């Protein structure tokens, strides 16, 4: 019996699995390039990642695969993150520690509700909506957290659980003390309250550089060779180049709904479970202009439902080589899903108009690049069906020799370094079978 392991997908998780398996691994990637979400697209001298991508891993895996090999080539930044409050007004993120920027009336409402919530007796927190009300009070929740949730996850906050909030790098959304909220409401100085206060980005080449250390340990890779069909009972995979491979064990980083779709013999209950998984996709609208001083900060969140994007970032500020001399760039991230299909009509024009209305682009800015990147799987939605659906799908996968791996195989909120760790874990589990 061959001890070869087929690795499906050449993103960080798949490459990490292959690295850890060494000679035994062979990687199949459907795109003509490697990296998955961790890739940098070069367009007329501009570098664009798949939405805002910065590095902040501090664990052992980050040490081994980023800091030791790439450390001197990583530039460090103090994170400057902003919120948009409409009509060209901005304030530092997060609003709960910087309410001064929303004006005295809204800030008073938010502080009063925050204090009232802090004095409420403990109650059961089941949904993200409950968690926000308990943590921040009504005004912060309804005017900011809920509006943002609807924009990025395209569901109601009460449809989401709270499993995704914790992470080993810290809470994804920070709960301040009463002192921090009051200070933020009266003091215009920016206040940090975030797991992401410092980040790193490659000095050149974009975020896609992060795959380089992994690639050094990966020998056999087929790019432009995607899985088309899996016969799971026979453990046979058909690829887009016409080849067919039998496998004993395979590691799959392919998004679960796609994996189940391409496996016609998957049981009905697995199909049903896959049909319940919820996620959002992103269309990145990338714009390059003939002006360097684009801003504010490194990225900005938008809460207004009339603005097409939920976030913009400025790749030209992450590395000089991300834009030609004298130029600046902005990436707008627009979320969509089966619950909220993408309205493509005039999308670029609507983004440009919203950027102008916010004062990010000036009327006389010369746009030299307009580009788009579609990200069909961007964010897993942690709804109440997720855990049970995963239990069914993962049990079936393991029963047919497919080890789930990565952000969309494990179906989680993995950061880049967590995807690398996921690949290490998957390699270990197929090795101990």
Ligand X SMILES: Cc1cc2nc3c(=O)[nH]c(=O)nc-3n(C[C@H](O)[C@H](O)[C@H](O)COP(=O)(O)OP(=O)(O)OC[C@H]3O[C@@H](n4cnc5c(N)ncnc54)[C@H](O)[C@@H]3O)c2cc1C
Minimal distance in Å, beta carbon 179 to ligand X? 30
Q: Give the number of C-alpha atoms closer than 13 A to the C-alpha of residue 136, restricted to the C-beta side.
A: 25
C-alpha 203/C-alpha 338 separation (Å) is: 38
Residue ranges in 267-306 that form contacts with ligand X under rule CB under 6 A:
282
Please tell me whether residue 10 binds ligand X under the rule CB under 6 A: yes
Least Å distance between CB 323 and ligand X? Answer: 19
Of the pair 11, 184, the CB lying nearest ligand X is at 11
CA distance 223 to 139: 50
Out of 415, 426, 427, 430, the only residue in the binding site for ligand X (CB under 6 A) is: 415
Smallest distance, Å, CB 317 to ligand X? 14
165 is a contact residue toward ligand X (CB under 6 A): no
Q: Which stretch binds ligand X (CB under 6 A): 5-13, 266-274, 317-325, 356-364?
A: 5-13
Count of residues of this chain found to bind ligand X when the rule CB under 6 A is applied? 35
| Dihedrals phi, psi of 204, to nearest 5 degrees | -145, 160
Beta strands in 321-409 (DSSP E): 328-336, 367-380, 402-404
Q: Spell out, one character per residue from 85 to 104, where the chain touches ligand X: x when CB under 6 A holds, - when not.
A: --------------------
Q: Give the integer Cα–Cα distance in Å for 299 and 294.
A: 11
Regarding 82 and contact with ligand X (CB under 6 A), the answer is no
> Torsions phi, psi of 118, nearest 5?
-65, -25
How far apart (Å, rounded) are the C-alpha atoms in residues 386 and 390? 6
Is the bond leading into 94 cis (omega within 30 degrees of zero)? Answer: yes
CB of 356 to ligand X, least distance (A): 24
| Of 81 and 110, CB closest to ligand X | 81
- The sign of the dihedral angle between the CA atoms of 272, 274, 277, 281 is negative
Name the residue nearer to ligand X (CB basis): 9 or 91: 9
- Residues 354-413 binding ligand X (CB under 6 A) are 375, 378, 406-408
Position 426 contacts ligand X (CB under 6 A): no
334 scored as a contact of ligand X (CB under 6 A): no
Could you tell me the CA-to-CA distances from 56 to 14, 107, 356, 360, 419 in Å, in that order? 21, 31, 31, 26, 13
Q: Which residues of 24-53 are buried (b: 16+ CB within 10 A; e: fewer)?
A: bbbbbbbeeebbbbbbbbeeeebbbbbbbb
Question: Quick one: which H or E segment has residue 398?
Answer: helix 386-399
Binding segment toward ligand X, per CB under 6 A, in 10-18, 79-87, 135-143, 395-403: 10-18
The residue from 20, 53, 92, 283 that contacts ligand X (CB under 6 A) is: 53
CB 225 within 8 Å of CB 30: yes
8, 250, 260, 430: which one binds ligand X (CB under 6 A): 8
Cβ proximity of 273 and 388 under 8 Å = yes
Give dist(CA 307, CA 350) in Å, integer: 8
Q: Does 81 bind ligand X (CB under 6 A)?
A: no
CA distance 236 to 168: 37
| Closest approach of ligand X to the CB of residue 16, in Å | 8
d(C-alpha 167, C-alpha 57), whole Å = 12
Closer residue to ligand X (CB): 130 or 231 = 231
Interface characters, 13-52, with ligand X (x: CB under 6 A): xx-------------xxxx----xxx-----------xxx
Nearer to ligand X, 140 or 417 (CB): 417
x/- mask, ligand X, residues 233-272, rule CB under 6 A, reads --------------------xx---x--------------
Based on CB atoms, which residue is closest to ligand X, 100 or 414?
Answer: 414
Round to the nearest angstrom and report the end-to-end CA distance of the chain: 13
Instruction: Tell me the C-alpha distance between 336 and 343, whole Å.
Output: 9
Q: Which residues would be at the binding site for ligand X (CB under 6 A)?
A: 8-14, 28-31, 36-38, 50-55, 226-227, 253-254, 258, 282, 375, 378, 406-408, 414-416, 419
């Amino acid at each position: 019996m061959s001890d070869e392991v087929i690795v499906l997908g050449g993103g960080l998780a798949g490459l990490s699995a292959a690295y850890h398996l060494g000679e035994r691994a062979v990687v199949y990637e459907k795109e003509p390039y490697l990296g998955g979400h961790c890739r940098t697209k070069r367009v007329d001298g501009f570098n664009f990642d798949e939405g805002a991508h910065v590095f902040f891993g501090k664990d052992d895996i980050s040490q081994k695969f980023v800091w030791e090999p790439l450390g001197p080539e990583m530039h460090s930044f103090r994170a400057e993150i902003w919120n948009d409050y409409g009509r060209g007004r901005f304030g530092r993120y997060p609003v709960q520690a910087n309410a001064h920027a929303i004006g005295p009336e809204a800030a008073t409402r938010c502080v009063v509700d925050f204090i009232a919530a802090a004095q409420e007796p403990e109650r059961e927190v089941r949904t993200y909506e409950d968690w926000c009300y308990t943590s921040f009070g009504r005004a912060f929740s309804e005017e900011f957290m809920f509006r943002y949730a609807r924009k990025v996850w395209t569901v109601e906050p009460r449809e989401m659980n709270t499993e995704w909030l914790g992470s080993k790098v810290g809470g994804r959304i920070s709960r301040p003390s009463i002192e921090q909220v009051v200070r933020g409401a009266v003091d215009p100085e920016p206040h940090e309250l975030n797991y992401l206060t410092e980040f790193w980005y490659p000095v050149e080449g974009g975020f896609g550089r992060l795959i380089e250390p992994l690639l050094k340990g990966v020998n056999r890779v087929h790019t432009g060779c995607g899985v088309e069909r899996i016969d799971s009972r026979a453990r046979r995979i058909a690829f887009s180049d016409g080849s067919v491979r039998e496998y004993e064990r395979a590691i799959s980083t392919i998004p679960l709904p796609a994996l189940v779709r391409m496996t016609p013999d998957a049981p009905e209950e697995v199909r049903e479970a896959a049909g319940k998984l919820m996620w959002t996709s992103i269309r990145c609208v990338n714009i390059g202009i003939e002006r360097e001083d684009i801003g504010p900060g490194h990225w900005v969140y938008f809460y207004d439902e009339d603005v097409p994007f939920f976030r913009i970032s400025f790749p030209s500020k992450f590395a000089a080589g991300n834009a030609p001399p004298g130029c600046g760039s902005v990436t707008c991230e627009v979320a969509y899903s089966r619950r909220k299909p993408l309205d493509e009509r005039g999308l670029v024009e609507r983004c440009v108009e919203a950027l102008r209305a916010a004062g990010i682009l000036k009327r006389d800015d010369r746009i030299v690049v307009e580009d788009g990147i579609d990200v069909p799987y961007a964010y897993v939605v942690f709804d109440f069906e997720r855990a049970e659906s995963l239990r069914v799908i993962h049990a079936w996968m393991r029963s047919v020799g497919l080890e789930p791996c990565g952000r969309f195989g494990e179906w989680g909120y993995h950061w880049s370094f967590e995807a690398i760790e996921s690949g290490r874990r998957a390699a270990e589990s197929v090795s101990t079978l």
